[in-house]
Amino acid sequence: MKGNTMSSKSATMTAPVKTTKTNRVNYAEQSPDLFKKLMDFSDAAKKSAIEHTVQYLVEIRASQINGCAFCLDMHVKQAKIHGERELRLHHVAIWRESPLFNPRERAALEWTETLTKLPEHGVCSEVFDRVRQQFSEKEISDLTYIVMIINSWNRANIAFRTEPGIFDHMFGLEKAGLS
CB atoms within 10 A of CB 61: 24
CATH topology of domain 31-176: AhpD-like (1.20.1290)
**46 vs 98, 99, 171, CA distance in Å?**
26, 27, 16
Element (H, E) at 62: helix 52-66
DSSP character at residue 161: T
pLDDT recorded at residue 107? 98
Per-domain residue ranges of the chain: 31-176
pTM of the model: 0.86
What is the distance, to the nearest Å, from the Cα of residue 41 to the centroid of all Cα atoms in its chain? 13
Cα(85)–Cα(110) distance, integer angstroms: 20
Tell me, what's the pLDDT at 38? 97
Q: Indicate the burial class of 103 (C-beta count within 10 angstroms; 0-12, 13-18, 19 or more).
A: exposed
Each residue's pLDDT expressed in tens, for the chain with a length of 179 residues: 333 333 343 344 433 344 455 678 899 999 999 999 999 999 999 999 999 999 999 999 999 999 999 999 999 999 999 999 999 999 999 999 999 999 999 999 999 999 999 999 999 999 999 999 999 999 999 999 999 999 999 999 999 999 999 888 888 898 898 87
